[in-house]
Structure 1
Amino acid sequence: MQRLLLPLLIATMIGCNSKKSEQTTTANTDFATVLDDYYEQRLKLFPIEATQQGDNRYNDQLPNDISQAFLGQTKAFYTNTLEKLNSFDREKLSDEDKISYDILKRELALQLEQYPFHQEEIPFNQFTGLTLSFGQLGSGEGSQPFKTVKDYDDWLKRVSAFSVWGDTAITAFRKGIATGRVLPKSLVVKMIPQMTDLVVSDPTKSLFYGPIKKLPSTFSAADKDRLTAAYKKAISEQIVPTYQKLGTFLTTEYLPKARTTSGIDVLPQGPELYRYLVRTWTTTNDTPDQIYAIGLNEVARIRGEMEKVKTQVGFKGTLDEFFTHLKTDKKFYPYKQPKEVLDAFHTILARIEPNLKKLFINTPKSEFEIRQTEKFREASASAEYNQALADGSRPGIFYVPIPDATNFNVTSGMESLFLHEAIPGHHYQVSLQQENTKLPKFRRFAWYGAYGEGWALYCESLGKELGIYTDPYQYMGALGDEIHRAIRLVVDVGLHTKHMTREQAIKYMMDNEPIAEQGATAEIERYMAIPGQALSYKIGALKIRELRTKYEKQLGDKFSLAAFHDEFLKDGCMPLDVLERKMDAWAERQK
């Protein structure tokens, strides 16, 4: 870590006398050690995060992260790190280290705020939790590697801890029943099949048997036989009984106690918890009421833009009828084969490439590919970006699910989707961050939704500058994507502070964007399960646009959009308040 920061240390030393230089070097080296220790200790506490980053040192570990012992351990870790951080005089740190100081101090303070809310009493839901990530890891198709004999044995060790975690989850749910912290019934109904679908009588039919079907040919016969027997036993005696027990508990004990309300404001400390989650996800101090008002204004503004497109194309009906037209007219379903869909995305890339150099100075070294989502998961998958590995061994991949090419609608926002998920959205942001080895590791691999998703949504607004959105129907698709994020501000806050019901939220979404009821239901239930998360996209994008507009006015002819983008991306993910201080300093330097 100290070696990585050396160029920064040298930069801060130039122009200083030797005594002051020595003090700065010592301070920054000590500071770098604290940052490095934080990153390393966090990976030990959260080994699945390490696995997902391609760090395989802890692939055999699965801590009981909802146990009181673990919560005590993490609280002590955050407290100790904050004490170390507070021992530094921020004003004596380099500009780059001040950014790291501000990011980490905010992160630690927020982490320490969470414990009184007892979120462990709802240990998982239909959208997040170990019950879901465990299947992704153990399928052989996720981030858990299955290349060596050690890899296969590592997973067996993780499996051995899963049943303990499952028992702890049931205990935690029961405590939640006693304290009044329970999930809505509509979510529990979705969780039960997620448990029971993984219960099989034949272990070879299990999702978790996937790695055995892909045993490397280089393994010895003895290792193949041993691992096959061990995996069958682990599936039958540990994994299946755990999922079965969880499914039975949810069905017979938890569902009858689940609530009929939709928002967390009815839970003990619910209003306080929601305000905390809003600050965590948006990285701002905006109040829920402020965010709700922003949402209403944005929905009205974007509907006005949609009306203009409707007029432009000569459609005579209402906006709601135009939504139906876009979803049902056969001319918007031109594809016959998946390759035609993929070729259309390649065409989008070819059209924006000549203009990218006008908007960006630095671009990623990481390779980029467009692929069809694998058959085994495409039926339920969304289009997504899978980040490149930092060492360049895997490209960044834009995955497109195409279960049936004839059902792929060209007005669904193909161009805006590409700008968001691929280039210049997530691929540029994530790759440039990972490739910047001057950043402390806790920042190279950090993620803040308001920054990362905010950037990707902001990139959707660059379509005309990048030479696309010339087709009004593609621009309508982009507006559909944008209003979807604005609607989230209304329904998320409405659900969790204004007693908006699940059904009212679904109707509001369907009234304001071209979305089917099934899709709207899945979206609203996601916001019920993860309060505040959906706010980060639009709040982040609005902040980026606000900063750009501010500097365009301040700098006039001295403003360079490419330089603005470069400065935004070069230091990686950070909270929006830290970002604004950094960008204001950049604008001052441009003057």
Structure 2
Amino acid sequence: MASLLLSGCSEPSASSDQAQTQTEPSIDSLFAQYYEERLHLYPLEATQAGDARYNDQLPNSIAQAFRTEEQQFFTRYREQLQRYDRAQLDPEQQISYDILKWECDIALESLHYPTHLTPINQFYSLQLTIGQWAGGTGAQPFETPEDYENWLRRLEAFAVWADTAIANMRQGIAQAYVLPRALTEKVIPQMAALAQGPVEHHLFYTPVTRLPDRLSAEEQQRLTQDYKDAVQHMVIPTFQKLHAFFRDEYLPASRNTAGISALEGGKAYYAHQIKTYTTTDMTADEVFALGQREVERLSAEMETVKQQVGFEGDLKAFFDHVRTRQELMPYREPQQVIDHFNDIYERMQPNLRTLFDLVPKTPFEVRRTEAFREQSASAEYNQGSLDGTRPGIFYVPIPDVQHYNVFADEDLFLHEAIPGHHYQISLQQENDRLPDFRKTLWYSAYGEGWALYCESLGKELGLYEDPYQYFGMLSAEMHRAIRLVVDAGIHAKGWTREEAIQYSLDHEAEPEESIVAEVERYMSWPGQALSYKVGQLKIRELRARAEETLGDQFDIREFHNQVLESGCLPLAVLEAKVDRWLDKKKGA
């Protein structure tokens, strides 16, 4: 693996080696000021964190004026940070210094690329977030008349954003900077589903079907009419415009290539994405080679399980067996799937305390993914609010319950829920020793790496007793190893969508429709899929180093505390932190 790279981890340069002046505010004040200004710039982050001050705001984040504001914001904080002597800070402040410098540097670097020309895709973009929150059960609160009015103002801003998106994508057409055709084809039905009535059955009308009883009859009547008008005269027309644009203009102009390198500046952008999502200086070739090695290793482990269950035939035939085995598709009602995950949680709870003594206070729920996005969604975790009043939610898509295969569900719960994302994110948000800007930080290599590492804890937690469930864990890890090969293949080596799909079919047991959705996810989000395996391998490496260094003194709970207690970190910062801990333990 390539060496890790993090701006700010080396000794400060001459320009940043100036001592703090007597009139300079404390660096903790700078961290607090950065967080406050950032929430104003990115109000959806505030809402996600449970901060209601900006719940009516939605900046036009793809307009040139906003991009200019971003550049000024991150430039200003990078310059202010350089006034402090990092060597004079305490260890936790040094971590915050390194993180803030990374945040500013990577954000400014990202503004070099024309991402505003492709602001909409089928997997992650604003119209999907707005749709998810529109149902009234997401991060946007719907408790008071003001809450309901705040959402209407956000919808007005979204309509402006949508007009800008169309204008930007027309500019992208003129510059041949467009989405792959396969992705556009998936966007069109998403838009169509929200471009029609009846109003009373529309997703965006849902909040007024759940008006709190404590509201007066007059308030309920007024809000109901306001939402009816908004859906009929603003929301539906907005999605009609988007649908018509994608169907009539954008689809004919969409490209036949799959990878970002096919676009002007695409190779440089992919290198930036690798850096962003792995927090390393790995090259695309190094990523691709690492993936190939991991695929080979995991294939050998899968062969062992295949022999254990007595299956005769090659590994590819065993994948088909797992995909189609009726005993692994036992459910007929979606609620049975939800109950199944809750049962996994109950079975593992007694063993959690042997691995963890840091336990989050934030409540947790398992929910079915909303119908409007279920067909193309993956299982996912949405964090709770900072104050713990909104639970962490593990969303499970169940588009066809009779074909829902449970073979990887124990592994999936460990990753998306407990002790994966729910423990890591909730503990970070609840840690009052962290400056506020670090409580909501997300580095995919750390967060997804931690969640993938947690998948390997199943046997220690009393799971994976069924060999098919253990095969599910191997399959999930193989899935992330395949991502290294396929993501780099698509975006750096000219692979087609079909080649990527076939490579996945040849090496994992996921059903073909899931593999197609995954490959198209990689096409829409270059580099993000690399973060899981790179982060997991680093955490595994650090655990092995700690076990070897400490021997009988190694305590798995203490190691997990070291990984979790400082929140999300770039991998180089995490490694330096663990090494300091080991040096201190050895010297004790």
- TM-score norm. by structure 1 comes to 0.91
Tell me if 1:232 matches 2:215: no
1:395 aligned onto 2:391: yes
Checking the alignment, whether the CA contact within 8 Å between 1:27 and 1:93 is kept in structure 2 is: no
Determine if contact 1:277/1:532 at 8 Å carries over to the other structure.
yes
1:207 aligns with 2:203: yes
Mark the CA change 1:189 to 1:372 in structure 2 (over 3 Å): closer, same or farther: closer
- Cα pair distance change 1:170/1:478, threshold 3 Å: same
Please give the alpha-carbon distance, in whole angstroms, between the structure 2 residues aligned to 1:38 and 1:66.
22
Shift of 1:346: 4.2
Distance 1:117 1:379 in 2: 31
For 1:304, give the aligned amino acid: A
SS of 2:459 mapped into structure 1: coil
User: Displacement, 1:423?
Assistant: 1.8
| Residue of structure 2 in register with 1:435 after alignment | 430
Identity %: 53
Question: What secondary structure is seen at the aligned counterpart in 2 of 1:410?
Answer: coil
How far 1:314 moved relative to its partner?
1.4
Deviation string 1:178-199 (CA, Å, 9 cap, x unpaired) is 2221111111111112222211
Amino acid at match of 2:582: A
CA deviation digits over 1:558-582, x for unaligned, max 9? 3222211111000000111111111
Structure 1 residues 214-236: Cα deviation after superposition (integer angstroms, max 9, x where no partner): 22232233323322222222222
Name the CA shift for 1:494/1:244 in 2 (closer, same or farther; >3 Å). Answer: same
TM-score, with structure 2 as normaliser: 0.92
Give the structure 1 partner of residue 560 of structure 2.
565
Describe the shift of the 1:456–1:82 C-alpha distance in structure 2 as closer, same or farther (beyond 3 A): same
Q: Does 1:582 align with 2:577?
A: yes
Deviation of residue 73 (structure 1)? Answer: 0.7
Q: Distance in 1 between matches of 2:345 and 2:163?
A: 49
Deviations 1:113-145 (A, max 9, x none): 122211111111111222222222222232111
Say yes or no: does 1:78 pair with 2:74: yes
Shift in CA distance, 169/102, structure 1 to aligned 2, threshold 3 Å: same
Contact in 1 for aligned 2:177/2:263 (Cα 8 Å) = yes
* Residue matched to 1:361: 357
Offset of residue 393 of structure 1: 2.1
Kept in 2, the 8 Å contact 1:448–1:575? The answer is yes
Structure 1 residue 302 corresponds to structure 2 residue 330: no
Counterpart contact for 2:376–2:517, Cα < 8 Å: no
Shift of 1:344: 4.2
Aligned counterpart in structure 2 of residue 419 of structure 1, from 391, 410, 414: 414
Match of 1:174 in 2: 170
1:451 to 423, 443, 446: 446
Identify the residue that residue 249 of structure 2 maps to in structure 1.
Answer: 253
Would the aligned equivalents of 1:558 and 1:590 in 2 still touch at CA under 8 Å?
no
- State the secondary structure of the residue aligned to 2:381: strand
How far does the alpha carbon of each residue in 1:244-303 deviate from its partner, in whole angstroms, 9 at most, with x for none? 112222222222221111101011111000000110011111111111001000011101
Identify if the C-alpha distance between structure 1 residues 172 and 339 changes in structure 2 by more than 3 Å, giving closer, same or farther.
Answer: closer
| Structure 1: unaligned runs, 5 residues or longer | 1-22
1:145 maps onto 2:141 in alignment = yes
Give the drift of 1:401.
4.5
Q: What CA deviation, in whole Å up to 9, does each residue of 1:29-68 have, x standing for no partner?
A: 6111111111111111111111111111111111111111
Aligned in 2, Cα 1:317/1:201: closer, same or farther, shift over 3 Å? closer
What are the superposed Cα offsets for residues 462-521 of structure 1, whole Å, 9 maximum, x if unpaired? 122223223211111111111001000000000001000000000000111112221111
The range that moved more, 144-153 or 28-37, is: 28-37
1:348 aligns with 2:344: yes
Residues 451-470 of structure 1: pairs in structure 2 closer than 5 A: 451-470=446-465
Indicate the SS of the match to 1:63.
coil
2:121 is matched with 125
Compute the displacement of 1:377 (Å): 6.5
Alignment counterpart, residue 472 of structure 1, candidates 458, 467, 471: 467
Q: Are the structure 2 counterparts of residues 448 and 335 from structure 1 closer, same or farther at C-alpha, using a change threshold of 3 Å?
A: same
Inter-partner Cα distance in structure 2 for 1:102 and 1:210:
44
Per the alignment, residue 534 of structure 1 pairs with 529
Which one of 94, 105, 114 corresponds to residue 98 of structure 1? 94
CA distance in 1, matches of 2:273, 2:345: 36
Letter in 1 for 2:354: K
Residue 512 of structure 2 corresponds to 517
Q: Which letter maps to 1:286? A: M
Q: Secondary structure at the match of 1:241?
A: helix
Task: Choose which of 173, 190, 195 in structure 1 pairs with 2:191.
Answer: 195
**Aligned partners of 2:502 and 2:518: how far apart in 1?**
12
- Do 1:138 and 1:208's aligned partners in 2 also have CA atoms closer than 8 Å? yes
Q: Pairwise mapping of residues 488-503 of structure 1 onto structure 2 (< 5 A)?
A: 488-503=483-498
Decide whether the 8 Å contact of 1:47 with 1:61 is kept in 2: yes
For 1:160 and 1:346, the matched residues in 2 are separated by: 39
Distance in 2, matches of 1:383 and 1:173, equals: 29
- AA aligned to 1:362 is L
Unmatched runs of 5 consecutive residues or more in structure 2: 1-18
Deviations 1:134-160 (A, max 9, x none): 222222232111111111111221222
Distance 1:562 1:550, change over 3 A: same
Residue pairs, 1:3-18, within 5 angstroms: none
Q: Given the superposition, is the C-alpha separation of residues 146 and 515 from structure 1 closer, same or farther in structure 2, using an over 3 Å criterion?
A: same
* Distance in 2 between residues matched to 1:132 and 1:339, nearest whole Å: 24
Larger deviation, residues 498-507 vs 336-345: 336-345
Q: Secondary structure at the match of 2:394?
A: strand
Structure 1 residues 208, 348: closer, same or farther in 2, change over 3 A? closer
Distance 1:122 1:403 in 2: 28
Secondary structure, counterpart of 1:398 in structure 2: strand
Q: CA deviation at 1:304?
A: 0.3
The count of aligned residue pairs is: 568
How many Å separate the matches in 2 of 1:257 and 1:395?
43
Which amino acid in the other structure matches residue 236 of structure 1? Q
